[in-house]
Amino acid sequence: MIKNKNQLKIALKERKDSLLFETIRNDVKPERVGTRRKVNKVQTNAFTLLTEKENGKIVDSWTYYNDNVKIENNIISYLDNKGNPFIQIRILEVA
């Protein structure tokens, strides 16, 4: 169980290939709900998820560890200005 940003950073460093990220809420692009993605690049302050665009091209989508990102109980939440989640991604731990 990944409960915070520090635990996610450690998991990405030690076992990024055993993590899968599933979008469970996206108020901006609801069609992305249910999409599962793998990690590509990992940096100190961010990581990328391989994302398929509408034209079929695969690109790196950056996820930064900034103040509008909250991680709790295997869920990454992107928060709006009022602190409400508008995008949520479940962290799936696979063998």
pLDDT at 2 over 80: yes
pLDDT, one tens digit per residue, over 10-21 is: 999 999 999 999
Number of domains in the chain: 1
Contact 32, 86 (CB under 8 A): no
pLDDT at 44 over 70: yes
Token pair of 31 as six digits: 């069609």
What global pTM score does this model have? 0.89
pLDDT for res 37:
95
pLDDT, one tens digit per residue, over 49-80 is: 999 888 989 999 998 888 899 999 999 999 99
Q: Residue 33's domain spans which residues?
A: 5-93
